[in-house]
């Protein structure tokens, strides 16, 4: 059980895609590489007068895998940078935007519309790239995996791909063994290319 008195803080290890987008808009720069995190932390310090470590920001944006929880003071600085009084106010605003919203311009591919044998390349931060071939019945075989926990020959089951949203894999089978569900691109979502 979490010893923290704020459950939302206990489960956050990465900022939501919505907050990441707000940060990109505020600093007027897409945050896609480590150097972008350095730029962002400098801009946060310039605007707020408060320092956030580059590695902390990399963890919050998903560039570094780490289970450590952020300090509330760090989250408050991020909220202040984005024009909110404190983290709780930003969190409520984030939930309003993240939990339900209409998105007419969402770039989405239904897996069932693909042709058997068609290749898809999925990329996500930091430096992860998975090439897979469609097998039919919402299943893919991984052909190549770079810096991902997925391995070549894994079989994935998923129903759709949505640009800038996480890839939700309902099942991964490796060498005949079910590994369960898998989520790629939790922090800032995925990009994909149909070949």
Closest by CA to 95, choosing from 107, 87, 106, is 87
Mean pLDDT rounded to a whole number for the chain: 85
* pTM of the model as a whole: 0.54
- d(CA 165, CA 107) in angstroms, rounded, equals 10
DSSP sequence for the chain: ----S-HHHHH-SS--HHHHHHHHHHHTS---SHHHHHHHHHHHHHHHS----HHHHHHHHTSS---PPPPHHHHHHHHHHTT-SSHHHHHHHHHHHHHS---TT--EEEGGGSPTT-EEEEEETTTEEEEEEEEETTEEEEEEEESSS--TT-EEE-SEEEBTS-EEEEEEEETTEEEEEEEE-TTT-BEEEE-
- The pLDDT of residue 4: 39
State the CB neighbour count (10 A cutoff) for residue 100: 7
Biggest CA-to-CA distance, the chain = 55
In which residue ranges of the chain is pLDDT below 70?
A: 1-13, 66-67, 97-106, 187
- The pLDDT of residue 104: 56
Closest by CA to 190, choosing from 69, 77, 107, is 107
* Residue 120: both structure tokens together: 């898809």
Residues 145-186: pLDDT tens digits?
999 999 999 999 998 898 888 898 999 999 999 999 998 987
- The pLDDT of residue 8: 43
Q: Which long-range contacts (CB under 8 A, 24 or more apart) does 145-153 make?
A: 148/184, 149/182, 150/182, 150/184
- d(CA 164, CA 124) in angstroms, rounded, equals 9
From its phi and psi, is residue 89 left (phi > 0), alpha (psi between -120 and 50) or beta? alpha
- The pLDDT of residue 99: 56
């Amino acid at each position: 059980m979490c010893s923290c008195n704020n459950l939302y803080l206990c489960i956050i290890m990465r900022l939501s895609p919505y907050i990441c987008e707000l940060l990109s808009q505020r600093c007027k720069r897409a945050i896609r590489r480590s150097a972008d995190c350095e730029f962002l932390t400098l801009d946060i310090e310039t605007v707020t007068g408060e320092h956030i470590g580059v590695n902390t920001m990399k963890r919050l944006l998903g560039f570094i895998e780490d289970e450590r929880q952020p300090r509330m003071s760090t989250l408050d600085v991020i909220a202040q940078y984005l024009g909110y009084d404190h983290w709780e106010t930003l969190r409520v605003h984030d939930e309003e935007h993240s939990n339900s919203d209409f998105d007419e311009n969402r770039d989405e591919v239904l897996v069932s519309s693909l042709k058997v044998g068609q290749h898809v390349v999925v990329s996500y931060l930091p430096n992860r790239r998975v090439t897979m071939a469609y097998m039919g019945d919402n299943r893919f075989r991984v052909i190549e995996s770079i810096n991902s926990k997925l391995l070549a020959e894994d079989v994935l089951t998923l129903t759709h791909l949505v640009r800038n949203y996480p890839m939700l894999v309902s099942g991964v089978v490796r060498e005949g063994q079910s590994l369960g569900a898998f989520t790629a691109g939790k922090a800032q979502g995925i990009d994909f290319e149909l070949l």
